[in-house]
Amino acid sequence: MPLWTLQDAWGQRGEQPDTPLQGMSGPRPVVLSGPSGAGKSTLLKRLLQEHSSIFGFSVSHTTRDPRPGEENGKDYYFVTREVMQRDIAAGDFIEHAEFSGNLYGTSKAAVRAVQAMNRICVLDVDLQGVRNIKKTDLRPVYIFEQRLRQRNTETEESLAKRLAAARADMESKPPLTLPPPSGEEPGLFDLIIVNDSLDKAYWALKEALSEEIKKAQATGHS
């Protein structure tokens, strides 16, 4: 299955919001997701550099130890498993997951901190996180980024492996349910960006967020 049909393949609607995010107001957030190597970090870095007064990155929490050069509150909020499990149980997290024995998650407070500055909050999460966010009333713009092949750097073998991994992920999901012609049943993502050219992918990202950028600029940001 071609990767540009991922929006159809992951078109299941999330559950109805059941975790109200009291106090969530301001510019509409942006959720950016994609497989490892898709280039999300590069696009996010460019977006935040060009529009530093409009976008703000949501800092995630993790129970893993800081790596050399990482700063608490900038790269992650580094907390103990006990503290994070307590806060998850208290409903303080929008989404969370466990990888390699460590917990990762996005707290409501981290998103509020960005929104309090009247900035568009950007969340970089995996597919599990996207599905969890669908259960809240955060209602962000959902964007999936996929790099089909890296020019002159990716072999057919490595591309085939990533295609196989994507297919395996899709096969683990419930049977495909396509949205009706009326469009009342939206897909998991609002936009799929095929990043086979960084400049084109960045243009597509900015174009998709143009209305939100205008709204933020109208509040007085430059």
Catalytic sites, residue numbers = 67, 151, 162
> Burial, 150: exposed, middle or buried (Cβ in 10 Å; 0-12, 13-18, 19+)?
middle
Q: Looking at this protein, which amino acid is placed at residue 39?
A: G
Give yes or no for a contact between 33 and 124, defined as CB atoms under 8 angstroms apart: yes
116: how many CB neighbours lie within 10 A of its CB? Answer: 14
Torsion sign across C-alpha atoms 101, 107, 113, 114: positive
Q: At what angle do helices 210-218 and 198-208 cross, to 10 degrees?
A: 60
Do 29 and 140 touch, CB atoms closer than 8 A? Answer: yes
